[in-house]
Each structure stands twice: as structure tokens, then as C-alpha cells.
């Protein structure tokens, strides 16, 4: 390919990408004025559902429906995806009278979903339709319609579902988040649904599961000579040493930053005591705190290590940013 043609093609590709993003951004922005009474009613139906929220969709809408079901299930609303083509071959038995169905169909005429309607009516199951055509077969039967119609698809042929699936995805997320907040869903509950991944580790892990204890914790007394304190720091490899009194109460810390300041002031490391160079009233954390809180403290105060104390201020452990990295918290 001639270099000039490569340049022209690259420019066209970028122009196409920009146009796609602009169309899809407009599709999402157009949803905002449609968030009216119907959205609140959809939320009310989901919150009142005593069974499970069944989400269905065919083709590309099916992929969005599957994602919505997963998001709902992981944020406090029991839900699962039902493939509409399989429903007519026995999977209809998954839907019970205490359930609720959310159907994603841009046209509102998807045959596999239309075939579900008599069964829903027979069971008295509420139907929330995310569709671009409220006057369609699905739209007219639905208990609540959430309008996710778009003016144009991003596809230049106006055929491939692009902007329409983006709009449905965004509306589904809006519904899931509104329900999450209405239920008072917590970080801990979210982590319970994600025990095997980084999300669970970040939310559920406590400082006591990460911190160093016993002889691994660097500690010196206020009367310790600075040179001995430096040896303790080097030996324990935490980037600091904690200064404690006779009762193991934390009275200060000495860090690499304190060392630089001491050297700048030409302190004699063989004569100066830790009480003269330590940082008093240091930041600390309790063992039962979330590890994410330790990360927050380190970022907020620009430090890399923390003493861990009990509620009375007694030293029981320590940790640094590398401990948190190894635990997958950062």
C-alpha cells in the first residue's frame, strides 16, 4: 500500500470512530429527558418482586440482557438471564408467578419474545420492556415501558445494532444502580458477591490479614541511639521503625524521610537519640480496619508505611505499601 493511501485510510478510520462515539453519546444523552414516572414504576416493580428478576433478549439485545442480569445479581437484585429461543423448549419453567421479566427488544416485535407474552399473562408476571417502540406488540403488553429508542444506529448502513444496544445498556445500568441505592447495598455486600476476584479482596480484606506482627515489626525506644534505630529499619525492611515506650504505646515513627532531614541537619547518628529525630503523633491504623482504608491514609498523607495499634494505642503490627500490593489491594 502506498504511504499516502495508508495516511488517508488512517484518517478515515479515525473519522469513523469519532462519528460512532458521537452518535452513541447522543443516544445516551437522549435518555435523560425520558427518565420520568415510568422509570420510578420500573424500580418499584423490581423492589416489590418476591421472586427473581428474569432478563431476556435475542441476538445483540440478548448480550446486553445477559450483562444486565449479571449486574443486577451482583448488586443486590436476584436475577438471571433467560434465552428466549430456549424458553419455548422447556426453559419457560424457570419463570414463576413471583418473578418479574425485563425484556430487551429494540423493535418490540422479536418473535421469540412475543411468544413469551401469553405465558407471562397467564402467570400474572409483570413485564418491563426496554424498547425503541412503545407501540409495538411487546410495548403495548408491557406493564412498564422504558424508551431506549435511537434516531440512528452508528452503523453507516443503519442496520447493525450499535447505538440502540448502547442505549439499552446505559438504561439497564441506570436501573441497576437506582435499585442498588434504594436497597442500601453496601461495599461489604458487593464483595460477598465477588469473593474470588480483586473486587472482593479490595473490599473485604482487613489490615490484620496483611500486617506484619511479632519480630517482623521494627520497634525502638525513644532513648535508642539513631544508629541502632537505622539498623532496626534495615533489618526489618519496612522503610520505617516505630518508636514505642515501655508499655509498647506508639509515641512516634522514624522513616526514610526523617533520616534525610536528620542528615541535612548534620545529626550525629552515633550520639543522637530517636526522641530527637522521630515524627511525633504519627498516623496509624487499627487491625480491624479495611485494608483499603490503609491505602487511603497512605495516599492522603503521602506515606508508605503505617504502625498498627489496638484501640488503646499499643503497637501490635505494621504494614507498608508493598504488603498491600502483594495482597492485591492496590
Poorest-confidence range of 2-6, 118-122, 185-189, 294-298?
A: 2-6
Q: Quote the pLDDT of residue 159.
A: 77
Q: Which residue has the higher pLDDT, 8 or 288?
A: 288
Do 46 and 116 fall into the same domain?
yes
| Residue 86 is assigned to a structural domain of this protein | yes
Do 130 and 15 fall into the same domain?
yes
**How would residue 87 be classed by pLDDT, with cut points 50, 70 and 90?**
confident
How does DSSP classify residue 135? T
Q: Quote the pLDDT of residue 90.
A: 73
Do 86 and 148 fall into the same domain?
yes
**Contact predicate 100/143, CB 8 Å:** no
- The 3-class SS string of 152-207 reads CCCCCCCCCCCHHHHHHHHHHHHHHHHHHHHCCCCHHHHHHCCCCCHHHHHHHCEH
Task: Indicate if the pLDDT at residue 330 is higher than 80.
Answer: no
Q: Which residue has the higher pLDDT, 195 or 203?
A: 203
Q: Quote the pLDDT of residue 89.
A: 77
| Residue 194 is assigned to a structural domain of this protein | no
Alpha-carbon span 146 to 64, nearest angstrom: 15
Alpha-carbon span 330 to 328, nearest angstrom: 6
| Residue 195 is assigned to a structural domain of this protein | no
Task: Indicate if the pLDDT at residue 1 is higher than 50.
Answer: no
Do 25 and 141 fall into the same domain?
yes
Within 13 A of 143's CA, how many CA atoms are on the CB side?
19
Most confident of 59-68, 79-88, 151-160: 59-68
Mean pLDDT, residues 260-282 taken together = 91
Do 165 and 277 fall into the same domain?
no
| Residue 200 is assigned to a structural domain of this protein | no
Do 262 and 316 fall into the same domain?
yes
Do 169 and 311 fall into the same domain?
no
Poorest-confidence range of 18-27, 74-83, 181-190, 284-293?
A: 181-190
Q: What is the CATH number of the domain that holds 160?
A: 3.40.50.10490
**Contact predicate 33/167, CB 8 Å:** no
Q: What is the CATH number of the domain that holds 266?
A: 3.10.580.10
Task: Indicate if the pLDDT at residue 301 is higher than 50.
Answer: yes
Do 143 and 239 fall into the same domain?
no
| Residue 218 is assigned to a structural domain of this protein | yes
**How would residue 179 be classed by pLDDT, with cut points 50, 70 and 90?**
very high
107-135 per-position pLDDT tens digit: 999 999 999 999 999 999 999 999 999 99
Among 185, 217, 234, the domain boundary falls at 185
**How would residue 191 be classed by pLDDT, with cut points 50, 70 and 90?**
low
**How would residue 97 be classed by pLDDT, with cut points 50, 70 and 90?**
very high
Do 56 and 165 fall into the same domain?
yes
Alpha-carbon span 297 to 309, nearest angstrom: 15
User: By percentage, how much of the chain surpasses pLDDT 90?
Assistant: 72
How does DSSP classify residue 210? T
Among 185, 216, 233, the domain boundary falls at 185
Q: Quote the pLDDT of residue 189.
A: 59
| Residue 109 is assigned to a structural domain of this protein | yes
Q: Quote the pLDDT of residue 197.
A: 55
Do 50 and 176 fall into the same domain?
yes
Do 156 and 269 fall into the same domain?
no
Domain that holds residue 106: 3-185
| pLDDT, the chain, mean | 90
| Residue 201 is assigned to a structural domain of this protein | no
Do 150 and 23 fall into the same domain?
yes
Alpha-carbon span 53 to 79, nearest angstrom: 4
Query: What's the domain count of the chain?
Result: 2
**How would residue 92 be classed by pLDDT, with cut points 50, 70 and 90?**
confident
Amino acid at each position: 500500500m502506498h504511504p499516502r493511501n495508508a495516511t488517508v485510510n488512517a484518517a478515515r478510520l479515525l473519522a469513523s470512530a469519532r462519528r460512532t462515539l458521537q452518535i452513541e453519546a447522543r443516544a445516551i444523552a437522549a435518555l435523560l429527558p425520558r427518565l420520568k414516572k415510568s422509570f420510578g414504576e420500573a424500580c418499584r416493580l423490581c423492589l416489590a418482586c418476591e421472586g427473581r428478576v428474569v432478563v431476556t433478549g435475542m441476538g445483540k439485545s440478548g448480550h446486553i440482557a445477559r450483562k444486565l442480569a449479571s449486574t443486577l445479581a451482583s448488586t443486590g437484585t436476584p436475577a438471571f438471564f433467560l434465552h428466549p429461543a430456549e424458553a419455548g423448549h422447556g426453559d419457560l419453567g424457570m419463570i414463576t408467578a413471583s418473578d418479574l421479566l425485563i425484556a430487551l427488544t429494540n423493535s418490540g416485535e422479536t418473535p421469540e419474545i412475543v411468544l413469551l407474552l401469553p405465558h407471562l399473562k397467564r402467570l400474572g408476571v409483570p413485564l418491563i420492556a426496554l424498547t425503541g417502540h412503545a407501540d409495538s406488540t411487546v410495548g403495548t403488553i408491557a406493564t412498564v415501558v422504558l424508551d431506549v429508542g435511537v434516531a440512528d444506529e452508528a452503523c453507516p448502513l443503519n442496520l447493525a445494532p450499535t447505538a440502540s444496544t448502547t442505549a439499552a445498556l446505559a438504561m439497564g445500568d441506570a436501573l441497576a444502580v437506582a435499585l442498588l441505592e434504594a436497597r442500601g447495598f453496601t461495599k461489604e455486600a458487593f464483595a460477598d458477591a465477588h469473593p474470588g476476584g480483586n473486587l472482593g479482596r479490595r473490599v473485604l480484606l482487613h489490615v490484620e490479614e496483611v500486617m506484619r506482627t511479632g519480630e517482623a515489626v521494627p520497634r525502638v525506644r525513644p532513648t535508642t541511639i539513631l544508629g541502632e534505630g537505622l539498623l532496626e529499619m534495615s533489618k526489618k525492611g519496612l522503610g520505617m521503625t516505630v518508636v514505642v515506650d515501655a508499655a509498647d504505646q506508639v509515641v512516634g515513627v522514624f522513616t526514610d524521610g526523617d533520616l534525610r532531614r536528620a542528615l541535612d541537619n548534620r545529626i550525629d547518628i552515633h550520639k543522637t537519640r530517636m526522641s530527637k529525630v522521630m515524627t511525633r503523633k504519627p498516623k496509624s491504623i487499627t487491625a480491624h480496619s479495611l485494608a483499603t482504608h490503609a491505602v487511603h491514609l497512605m495516599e492522603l498523607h503521602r506515606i508508605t508505611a503505617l504502625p498498627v495499634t489496638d484501640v488503646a494505642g499499643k503497637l501490635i503490627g505494621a504494614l507498608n505499601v508493598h504488603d498491600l500490593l502483594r495482597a492485591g489491594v492496590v
